[in-house]
Amino acid sequence: MKNTVIEALLNSPHADGDKLPSVRQLMQYLHTASGTVQSALRELASRGFIYTDPGKGCFWGKRKAVELPPLKPSAQNELSEKFFADVRSGYFSLQGALPSQKELALRYRVSITRMRQFLKDIQQKGMLEREGKSRYFFPKQDERSETEILFITRSTEWGAYSPVSEREMDFLKFVYRTGAEKNLNLRLLGFNEETEQFFDRNGNTKQISEYPNVVGAIVSTLLMQKPFRILSQLQNANFPISIWWEHAALDLPKSFLKKEGWAFFNSTFGKNPGKTVGKYLLQKGIQKIEYISPYHASTWSRDRLKGLEESGLEVIPHVDGKFASPWDFRKLEKDNGPKHTIDLRAKNHEKEILRSLVSEASPEIPWVTVNDETAGLLLELKEEKVLAKTPYMVGFDNSVESYLLRLDSFDFNTEVLAAQMFYHLELGKNDPFKSPHLREISGKIVEK
C-alpha cells in the first residue's frame, strides 16, 4: 500500500512548489491508513521529491535555501580587525611609536573617544605599551645577554649556498642589516633537503644542539622543494622561529601554524598582490587589462590573476600552463646545448611562448605581466620589431631592471618582512600578535 501511495502521488500532475493533499485527504482518496500515508511521504522526502513545511503541509521539490544577510560586525570588532590586519601586514613600524590617536581615528573612521578606549583596552591585554600621556608603542623584550640568532637557508650537499634572485639578495641584505642594528650575532646555516643535514659556512656538518646560546632562528624556504623536511628538523627547538614561507598557503598544515613560538610569514603567494595592483589601476581610471603569464602552472601566477579579477577589473588572460617559473625553461634547455648558452636559449624559448601568447592581445589595453622579467622580454620583442607596439605595463617584483625600463611594479616589501620576523623573535612565545594564519606582508606599487 505504501508503494501504491507513492506511485499515485508521482503520477499525479504536479510542479515544484505545489502543495500535496493533506494526510486526511490522501487517506480518503486512496482508502488507506494514516500510518501508511505518512510512511510514503517520509520516503518521498528522503528521496528528495518533496519537503515538509511544519504547520503548512508537504510540497513538491526541494526547500529553497533562505539567504540571511551577512551579520555586520560591531564597530568595536571592525576597528579591532582593521587594526590587527595593519599590524600583521607591516603597516606600522614596530620600532617607533604608533601614529597619534587623532591620525589613527582618521584612518579607521572612528571617534577619538572610541580610538582612545580601544588603545587602552589592548594595552591592558599586554599588546601595547605607553609612554607619556598619548603615545603608544609595541612591546619590546628586555635586553638579554644571549644574542645569537640562527639564519637558515637552503644549501648544496657540500654546504655551498648562493642566492639566485634579486628578491633573495634583498632579503639577505635586510636580515644582515637588521641583525647588525640590533647587535645580534647571526649564525648562517645551510640545510640540504636530500641529506637533511645542516652545514656551517665552512661546509662542516652541524647539529642544532651545538648552538646552546641561540635565542631564535630565521628560516627561508625560498626554492626549497621539500620545505617540510627543515620544519621537521626544527620540531624540538626550544627557541622561537620565524619562517619565510615561500610556498602556497594551502600547502602549510595548521598543526605547524599553531605551534607555540613559531610564526609564518608570506609576501609573494596569495591574491593580495593582484588585488593591490588591480586597485591601483582602477584608481588611475583603468577598467580593463590583459594579464600575461608564461608561468601559469604555478600557484603564484594563478593567485595574481584571481586577485586582479577580484579587485573589480575586467581581465583578459593570456597564459601558458606548462611552466611554473623561469627556472623551468633553464632546466629544459640544460641538455639541449652548451652549458654557457643555457640562459640565452631559455630566454629565446620563453620569448617564443610570449610572442604566441600576446598575438591576440590588444596593444591598446594595459598589460599586467606576471613579473618584471616577463615585461622585460616583451619590451625586447618590441625592440626586435617582433611586436609592433606594447601598451602601458605593470609588473611584479620591483626589480632593479624595472627602474631601467621605467616599469611600474609591485614591491613585495621585503624590508618589512625581515623586520616583522625579527620582532617575533624578540617576543617569542609572548608575541601578542601570534595568529594561526600566515602573516601576509602588504606590498605597494612603485611608480617609475
Residue 329 has pLDDT above 80, yes or no: yes
Q: Is a pLDDT exceeding 90 seen at residue 70?
A: no
pLDDT per residue as tens digits for the range 18-34? 899 998 888 888 888 98
Residues 104 and 123 in one domain: yes
> Do residues 344 and 249 share a domain?
no
* Residue 428 confidence class, pLDDT cut points 50, 70, 90: confident
**341 in any annotated domain:** yes
Tell me the angle at which helices 34-46 and 2-11 cross, rounded to the nearest 10 degrees: 60
**Overall domain count for the chain:** 4
Q: Are residues 244 and 295 in the same domain?
A: no
| Same domain assignment for residues 284 and 177 | no
Distances in Å between the Cα of 94 and the Cα atoms of 139, 244, 387 are 9, 18, 47
Q: Indicate if 87 and 172 belong to the same structural domain.
A: no
CATH code (residue 161): 3.40.50
Lowest mean pLDDT among 49-58, 301-310, 377-386: 49-58
d(C-alpha 104, C-alpha 130), whole Å: 15
Let me know whether 153 and 186 are in one domain.
yes
Q: Which amino acid is at 289?
A: I
Range of the domain at 44: 2-60
Question: What is the overall mean pLDDT for the chain?
Answer: 89
Query: 50 — phi, psi (to 5°)?
Result: -135, 170
Give the CATH number of the domain where residue 17 resides.
1.10.10.10
The reply to whether 348 and 363 lie within a common domain is yes
In a domain, 321, yes or no: yes
For the stretch 99-146, pLDDT in tens is 999 999 999 999 999 999 999 998 888 888 887 777 898 887 655 545
Instruction: For residues 299 and 387, state if they share a domain.
Output: yes
CA distance 218 to 147: 13
| C-alpha span between 230 and 423 (Å, rounded) | 22
Does residue 174 share a domain with residue 99?
A: no
- Domain membership flag for residue 431: no
| Nearest partner of 395 among 417, 416, 376, 382, judged by Cα | 376
Note whether 377 and 290 are same-domain residues: yes
Domain assignment present for 277: yes
Look at the block and give the residue holding cell 606590498. Answer: 443
Distance CA 200, CA 155 (A): 10
Residue with cell 611594479: 409
User: pTM above the 0.85 mark?
Assistant: no
Query: Which of 245, 267, 289 lies at the terminal end of a domain, its last residue?
Result: 267
Q: Residue 386 domain-assigned? A: yes
Q: Is residue 419 part of a domain?
A: no
Return the pLDDT at 305. 97
What CATH number should be reported for the domain holding residue 291?
3.40.50.2300
Give the three cell numbers for residue 377. Answer: 622580454
Domain boundary among 84, 107, 137: 137
Least trusted range by pLDDT, from 22-26, 169-173, 302-306, 347-351? 22-26
Whether residues 278 and 261 fall in one domain: no
The C-alpha atoms of residue 216 and residue 48 are separated, in whole angstroms, by 58
**Whether residues 286 and 390 fall in one domain:** yes
